[in-house]
Structure 1
């Protein structure tokens, strides 16, 4: 592909990504993979160059653009003017620029979202948002059911700063082809997720409910902490996500997980046997994903005030549901990969007002310092994805 053809390919992909963001469609990575699956003539260098350009543009355009062309022109005018010379309409290059052609404005995020982040970070907002839009490293979690971190040797990988079983590399690594991955010794997992799993305090012999288990990232970390002893019920309303968990459990050598598909809006029906029976309930709730912008910068294009309201309602409903499963003296851990206060502190404060049977409890801060009853992780301060984590107990 010529440089101009790469720009045109990026424009076409950004159009698809923007449409998917509007319509709750596939993630950017999936769209890019599908695009090139239909264009086998593009070599690995072409695919890498186009992908990098796409993400550069998405990171620099905070509002969902009207067109991929406008987004790329806006990015080029602000950050890479040399790209403008590739618009010429010759061959597979983008059509020539029109005088005063309208383009997307560069900004970190929609104004209403920045205002919400300012409530979290105050004067530190520019630094924190810049970190949120940086490139994420590759984090791995060592599966202690199979090995130890000291025994795993991957070129360029170093121990993570806070997660006891984490490794981090900034080098390209096809993880799923490595012998360590195939042997079930490692999983891809951001250090923030590993810290969140550690805060849960899962122990051997417990009955644990992972209420929003998805494809099982935190489930696997919880089982490792339990040393594969006890009972873990992994639930979700998405059959596809639960199905994807199966091979991961097998590869990791896990035998104590029961996968349970719930009916959306009628989850209680499938959980009646677990009422006030769990030592630990983990709610990794659906959220805005503001903490994951390093990996999914197009998430800024997906979020609207109305969608945020719906997420807040879902979080409150899951907290109410999860609380019914915790036994006396048991623990509920609430996790969101969000940095918006209304999905974190405000959500927990409102829930505690209507759930007098629970109270916040202090826990050792995995990042150091004094004990806390909730923890905020940020890329700017901790080098991992952004999270809010709270730990509560039934009195």
Structure 2
């Protein structure tokens, strides 16, 4: 497919997303199934166009004076990919398989449209209803952080300390120009291509042999700040696919009793193969479905040294990777997530022993899911928990981290602009002895 034909396909996919109100991944998959002639490179190129358009949906619509899929793609080509008006016009030529030519108004908008007078939710490409929360959390960094969230995310991996050191893996990834991440001691960052995609590291021999896992540096740092200790009993309460479970096992050298579970048993499916590949040791407790399902952690109540709560959240810190998620976010879904966070924090509170700790983590920038969730726990369990000071939490991480993160009332906030990571929040709450 020509670049112009890819633009036509991207407009089709964007139209499907809008008309049917569906996730971008589903629309892209269906387009690929209906156009089997498109090769993997074409599908990747179309996906990059679609995700770039979603990253800049609001600002692109602003400069183009229209929010149609065509207008958003045109605006994103300029804003996200930096194409000159003449280059965009060459793609929208009206030739075979190309989109119709630019209108006079579209050409004028491309030439003169600016974001100088755009409101913050437009300039930062974020839903308007979360702006007050984000502004309170990010202060003067609001627009820089939102702009960083609208950029493409890097490709990070965590070298598995159970297999070896970061220096041992670097030579094997030399062809991909891998380099150490700024903060995580076992992290490597691999440059992404012009299409926004990185190499297929999951098919490399080193990956298949368990030498590394694909994991954002922020997630790696969150696991480090959990400060797992050899000899402890540690529960990963919302383990999902097991990314942080594996990191905790590697950090303790398999020296802790590590138990992983999740409220949704389907999310645990990948963890078994990942454990086998990495050499990590963990006990997986999978809850059964149904209303009368048993509590698989009941025998551990009051005995656990450390509970990691990687809580379900809106994922606002991962908008670089999932740009359509921000446009599907609604006040009702935020309320649902905060209720779930209260539930899992209360479960963690029952598990942890006197003197033990809860490590609360989200991939969110919203105070409603972060400091407010910790406030809720402290209120519901009045007099039984204390927040660990940020300086003490940061002491478990690399020396470069304190200068890069933002500290909040109760925790630590990593962000794309300040830390170069996805947005992660970490708070540690200690149960009184």
Structure-1-length-normalised TM-score: 0.88
1:201 and 1:73 map into 2 onto residues whose CA distance is 47
1:19 and 1:198 map into 2 onto residues whose CA distance is 43
Partner in structure 2 of residue 52 of structure 1: 48
2:18 and 2:315 map into 1 onto residues whose CA distance is 17
1:304 and 1:327 map into 2 onto residues whose CA distance is 37
Confirm or deny: 8 A CA contact 1:242 1:259 kept in the other structure.
no
Does 1:360 pair with 2:361?
no
Does 1:345 pair with 2:407?
no
2:292 and 2:372 map into 1 onto residues whose CA distance is 25
Does 1:134 pair with 2:136?
no
Alpha-carbon offset, residue 15 of structure 1: 3.1
Partner in structure 2 of residue 2 of structure 1: 2
Which residue of the other structure, out of 174, 182, 188, is the alignment partner of 1:167? 188
Which aligned pairs between 1:211-222 and structure 2 lie closer than 5 A? 211-222=237-248
Q: Choose 134-143 or 34-43, whichever is displaced more.
A: 34-43
2:290 and 2:11 map into 1 onto residues whose CA distance is 37
Q: Choose 363-372 or 287-296, whichever is displaced more.
A: 363-372
Confirm or deny: 8 A CA contact 1:209 1:280 kept in the other structure.
yes
Runs of at least 5 residues in structure 1 that lack an aligned partner in the other structure:
none
Partner in structure 1 of residue 314 of structure 2: 288
1:292 and 1:207 map into 2 onto residues whose CA distance is 30
Partner in structure 2 of residue 14 of structure 1: 14
User: Any idea what SS the aligned residue of 1:140 has?
Assistant: strand
1:62 and 1:340 map into 2 onto residues whose CA distance is 20
User: Any idea what SS the aligned residue of 2:306 has?
Assistant: strand
Confirm or deny: 8 A CA contact 1:268 1:321 kept in the other structure.
no
1:229 and 1:218 map into 2 onto residues whose CA distance is 16
Partner in structure 2 of residue 69 of structure 1: 70
Alpha-carbon offset, residue 268 of structure 1: 7.0
Confirm or deny: 8 A CA contact 1:6 1:50 kept in the other structure.
yes
Which aligned pairs between 1:105-120 and structure 2 lie closer than 5 A? 107=123, 108-120=125-137
Which residue of the other structure, out of 119, 137, 141, is the alignment partner of 1:124? 141
Which residue of the other structure, out of 379, 382, 390, is the alignment partner of 2:419? 382
Q: Choose 266-275 or 252-261, whichever is displaced more.
A: 266-275
Does 1:92 pair with 2:97?
yes
Q: Deviations over 1:291-325 (max 9, x none)?
A: 11111111211211111111111111111111111
Confirm or deny: 8 A CA contact 1:333 1:390 kept in the other structure.
yes
Alpha-carbon offset, residue 193 of structure 1: 0.3
Does 1:394 pair with 2:431?
yes
Q: Choose 318-327 or 70-79, whichever is displaced more.
A: 70-79
Does 1:319 pair with 2:345?
yes
Structure-2-length-normalised TM-score: 0.81
Alpha carbons of structure 1 residues 267 and 213: separation in structure 2 relative to 1, 3 Å: farther
User: Any idea what SS the aligned residue of 1:393 has?
Assistant: strand
RMSD: 3.0
Confirm or deny: 8 A CA contact 1:216 1:242 kept in the other structure.
yes
Alpha carbons of structure 1 residues 50 and 352: separation in structure 2 relative to 1, 3 Å: same
1:308 and 1:19 map into 2 onto residues whose CA distance is 23
Confirm or deny: 8 A CA contact 2:287 2:294 kept in the other structure.
no
1:151 and 1:292 map into 2 onto residues whose CA distance is 30
User: Any idea what SS the aligned residue of 2:314 has?
Assistant: coil
1:275 and 1:57 map into 2 onto residues whose CA distance is 48
Which residue of the other structure, out of 238, 255, 261, is the alignment partner of 2:264? 238
Alpha-carbon offset, residue 251 of structure 1: 0.3
User: Any idea what SS the aligned residue of 2:47 has?
Assistant: helix
1:388 and 1:62 map into 2 onto residues whose CA distance is 26
Does 1:300 pair with 2:326?
yes
Alpha-carbon offset, residue 124 of structure 1: 1.8
2:420 and 2:6 map into 1 onto residues whose CA distance is 32
Alpha carbons of structure 1 residues 15 and 216: separation in structure 2 relative to 1, 3 Å: farther
Confirm or deny: 8 A CA contact 2:89 2:101 kept in the other structure.
no
Count residues in correspondence: 389
2:213 and 2:308 map into 1 onto residues whose CA distance is 20
Alpha-carbon offset, residue 240 of structure 1: 2.7
Confirm or deny: 8 A CA contact 2:406 2:414 kept in the other structure.
no
Alpha-carbon offset, residue 66 of structure 1: 7.2
Alpha-carbon offset, residue 73 of structure 1: 4.6
1:327 and 1:16 map into 2 onto residues whose CA distance is 51
2:141 and 2:426 map into 1 onto residues whose CA distance is 21
Q: Deviations over 1:187-237 (max 9, x none)?
A: 000010011001111122221111111111111101112212332221113
1:124 and 1:262 map into 2 onto residues whose CA distance is 44
